[in-house]
Structure 1
Amino acid sequence: MTLDQFRPHVKVYFDPLVRFAIRCRLTPNVLTIAAFIASAAAGLLFYFRLELWAVIAVAINAFCDAMDGAVARETKSQSLRGDFLDHAVDRYADIFIITGIFASGLVIWPIGVLALTGVLMSSYLGTQAQAVGVGRYYGGVLGRADRLVLIMLAGIATIVYPLTIFSLNWLGWLLLLFGVFGHLTAFQRFAYVWRKME
């Protein structure tokens, strides 16, 4: 269930935006920093219960996060520093957004912590695979693109159709899903890397 597999299919629609960004002299690092700022804004907006604006900020984060890599590839300006910055910003984005949701009281904190640890561990094991010589591995049931889209959908559902099932709203159920499937994804990645090191 990862949206990354659809990247080749949307490339034709994305390319004009990439070319426009290049004409505007937007570098990959500028777009990465923009993604960082948008994620911090999203966390604060969720905290202050401004869900509509939070969803918009998450969408900006997702857009800039997709654009930085695309611009780097198009301009052949990929670098270790850019890659390092991108991964650091992505982890902070996860922290800002998820913490903003449960710190606001929209979701109880144990579920928020479960979601946050699941997301961070799955992401960590994806890059740790490279550190042990296997190469990066982003397989599993829940990727970052999936999470961002689901947060936007749950945020919109919370605004348009507020609903509580077993004391959890849309965002509560979503973070529970993040926790369960995040740790499942982490386990899948761990098992894959472990087998590759034999």
Structure 2
Amino acid sequence: MTLDRFRPAVKGAIAPSVTLAKRVGLTPNGVSVLAFALALVGGAAFVVAPRRDPLLYLGGAVAVALNGWLDLVDGELAREMGTGSDAGDLLDHVLDRYADIAMIAGLAAGLEAYALGLAAVTGVLMTSYLGTQAQAVGLDRVYGGLVGRADRLALVVAVGAAAAFVTEPFSGLTVVGWLLVFFAVVGHFTALQRFYYAMKAL
């Protein structure tokens, strides 16, 4: 079960943000770009936090939380303005994937755990790829599986906030290191779940 399925339930909560975006003249694509910029900020904070100040993990977690919030706002803004398009959907998905890379690579680079980071980011990307590839072969877009993007963002926010205060390693890894292990294992498992669901439906 993933948080992605609860997207419709937060429609009312994001309404003020959608209204604000319209008032300041932001387009849905502009919101998507802003969300991506926040992901870059978060990734950069994760890189420097272990070396300079663990509290930077908290700043990175806030940036990631805002990225996730704006990722909801852009789609709702497009629907409200009647400007939804395939081009906008493509831009949103491309920027989401680069945002995922920036955040996870930042977490890994901060720990200098590059092999673990590679395993984590490929698991995340394969999860997202299988979700949209199902649509490419004529099925509905797949959001199911153990961990979706909303879950990943929630975990990055929670662990990032914890890492600001919990710096001691546990069984050889910090809380950030264990998060990367989780993404590496569960990400590939979720991708295989989505592959199974799609193959079964074809």
Shift of 1:21: 1.6
User: Which of 62, 68, 75 is residue 68 of structure 2 equivalent to?
Assistant: 62
Residues 1:102 and 2:108 are matched in the alignment: yes
User: Which of 91, 96, 105 is residue 90 of structure 1 equivalent to?
Assistant: 96
Identity between Structure 1 and Structure 2 (%)? 48
CA contact (8 A) 2:5 2:143 kept: no
CA contact (8 A) 2:39 2:102 kept: yes
**For residue 185 of structure 1, what is the amino acid of its counterpart?**
T
**For residue 45 of structure 1, what is the amino acid of its counterpart?**
A
Q: Which residue of 1 aligns with 2:198?
A: 193
Q: Which residue of 2 aligns with 1:129?
A: 134
How far does the alpha carbon of each residue in 1:95-152 deviate from its partner, in whole angstroms, 9 at most, with x for none? 11111111122x6222211111100001001111111112311111101111111101
What secondary structure sits across from 1:160 in the alignment? coil
RMSD, matched Cα: 1.4
Shift of 1:23: 2.3
How far does the alpha carbon of each residue in 1:36-92 deviate from its partner, in whole angstroms, 9 at most, with x for none? 111112111211113122112212211221111111122221100100000000000
**For residue 89 of structure 1, what is the amino acid of its counterpart?**
L
Aligned equivalents of 1:109 and 1:125: distance in 2? 24
User: Which of 116, 121, 127 is residue 121 of structure 2 equivalent to?
Assistant: 116
Q: Which residue of 1 aligns with 2:84?
A: 78
Aligned equivalents of 2:48 and 2:95: distance in 1? 22
User: Which of 140, 145, 149 is residue 144 of structure 1 equivalent to?
Assistant: 149
**For residue 181 of structure 1, what is the amino acid of its counterpart?**
V
Q: Which residue of 2 aligns with 1:37?
A: 37
Residues 1:26 and 2:26 are matched in the alignment: yes
Alignment gaps of 5+ in structure 1: none
What secondary structure sits across from 2:164 in the alignment? helix
| Matched positions, count | 196
Alignment gaps of 5+ in structure 2: 50-55
**Normalized against structure 1, the TM-score is what?**
0.93
Shift of 1:28: 0.5
**Normalized against structure 2, the TM-score is what?**
0.91
Which deviates more from structure 2 when the two are superposed, residues 182-191 or residues 47-56? 47-56
